[in-house]
Amino acid sequence: VSQSRYVTDGNSPAGNITESQAADLETLIADVGANKELFLKFMKIKQIEDMPVSQYERAVKSLEAKRKNTVTK
């Protein structure tokens, strides 16, 4: 999965991520084998849909970093 799929276009309204972005994060969490509960705590949210748009790119980068770390082990 290309990371560019997860980059926002900057036109999203302020607030929480879209349903599509939430679904993409759910998929990415599963793909990289991340612990969803720990990820939610790390992002300081109760559920993926609560994520502010401003944190979306950080979330994707964190998960992609986990993928890279898992591959190199």
pLDDT tens for residues 10-29?
544 569 999 999 999 999 99
pLDDT at 34 over 50: yes
pLDDT band at 69 (very low <50, low <70, confident <90, very high): confident
Q: Read off the pLDDT of residues 46-66 as tens digits, 9 standing for 90 and up.
A: 999 999 999 999 999 999 998
SS (H, E, C) 37-69: HHHHHHHCCCCHHHCEHHHHHHHHHHHHHHHHH
Dist CA 13 CA 42 (whole Å): 24
| Sequence-separated (6 or more) residues with CB below 8 Å from residue 33 | 66, 70
Distance CA 48, CA 43 (A): 9
